[in-house]
């Protein structure tokens, strides 16, 4: 079976760093995605990890450990506009379907 | 501008009525997808299509139908058999190959009158 778990909600302060965790159980592995979704809008692609380690893209970084079935999204120098839901997703084995977690709603306070 | 266009942005359905949600992409992607999003739940796959004139059921296909007559278009019909249609519907497309990043339209919010 396939399962993706992430926290439902998180809060943080402007300028701080926040780490959003995601654990996954998939039969086979073909990468892990992170998307950002502002309320009422489309999800937008943030990152894709297929190898272990940290990938940095400006203020956002994504980490993957395949042996632990674990990923995190790291957001630095938080801004108010980072308040959004962050969706973790993994491809269903041997298909191009994506399985999504329920999303983590991040609220950034001044 | 390349992208995915969904219309309408808001849609209201009466009891017993079928409604069709439009999704058009000009990204030259082979694969297209329809998802449903409910509050507090992740995106759930309704139908997907990997190539023109072919499509497969996703996890929650009952009460929905699709067609893929053109590469650019993948309309979704919410039939009267779908008893709880109120949700946010998202269309996505991808190149169907390695990585297969999916790009999403702006969504259609469907409500029942």
Is B100 in contact with A91 (Cβ distance < 8 A)? yes
pLDDT at B1 over 70: no
Residue carrying the six token digits 């079928």:
B18
Q: Which of residues 44-63 of B touch A (CB under 8 A)?
A: 44-45, 48, 50, 58
| Closest CB to B103 among A45, A87, A96 | A45
Is A42 in contact with B45 (Cβ distance < 8 A)? no
| B104, closest residue in chain A (CA to CA) | A42
Q: Which of residues 81-100 of B touch A (CB under 8 A)?
A: 88, 90, 94, 96-97, 99-100
CA angle A47, B56, B102 (to 5 degrees): 15
pLDDT at A92 over 90: no
Q: What is the pLDDT of residues A1-54, one digit of tens each?
A: 678 999 999 999 999 999 999 999 877 777 899 999 999 899 999 999 999 999
Is A45 in contact with B102 (Cβ distance < 8 A)? yes
* B67: CB partners within 8 A, 6+ apart: B55, B74, B75
CA distance B112 to B87: 10
Which residues in chain B are contacts of A89 at CB distance < 8 A? 43
Give the count of Cβ contacts less than 8 A between chain A and B: 52
Torsion of CA B106, B86, A100, A71, to 10 degrees: 80
Is B42 in contact with A33 (Cβ distance < 8 A)? no
| B41, closest residue in chain A (CA to CA) | A102
Percent of chain B with pLDDT over 70: 95
B98 falls in which pLDDT band (50, 70, 90)?
low
Is B42 in contact with A40 (Cβ distance < 8 A)? no
Mean pLDDT (whole number) for A99-108: 95
Percent of chain A with pLDDT over 90: 77
Can you say whether the dihedral through the CA atoms of B90, A22, A46, A51 is positive or negative? negative
Can you say whether the dihedral through the CA atoms of A24, A89, A15, A65 is positive or negative? positive
């Amino acid at each position: 079976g396939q399962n993706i778990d992430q926290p439902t909600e998180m809060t943080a302060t402007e300028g701080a760093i926040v780490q959003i965790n995601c654990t996954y159980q998939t039969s086979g592995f073909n990468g892990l995605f992170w998307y950002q979704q502002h309320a009422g809008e489309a999800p937008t692609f943030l990152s894709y990890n297929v190898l272990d380690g940290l990938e940095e893209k400006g203020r956002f970084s994504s980490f993957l450990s395949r042996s632990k079935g674990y990923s995190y999204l790291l957001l630095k120098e938080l801004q108010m506009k980072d308040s959004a839901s962050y969706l973790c997703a993994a491809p269903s084995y041997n298909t191009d379907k994506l399985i999504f977690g329920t999303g983590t709603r991040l609220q950034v306070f001044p | 501008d390349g992208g995915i266009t969904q219309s309408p942005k808001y849609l209201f359905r009466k009891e017993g009525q079928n409604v069709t949600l439009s999704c058009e992409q000009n990204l030259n992607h082979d694969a297209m997808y329809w998802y449903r999003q409910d509050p507090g739940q992740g995106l759930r796959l309704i139908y997907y299509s990997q190539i023109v004139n072919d499509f497969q059921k996703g996890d929650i296909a009952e009460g929905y139908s699709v067609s893929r007559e053109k590469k650019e278009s993948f309309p979704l019909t919410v039939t009267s058999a779908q008893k709880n249609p109120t949700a946010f519907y998202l269309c996505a497309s991808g190149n169907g190959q390695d990585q297969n990043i999916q790009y999403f339209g702006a969504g259609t919010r469907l409500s029942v009158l």
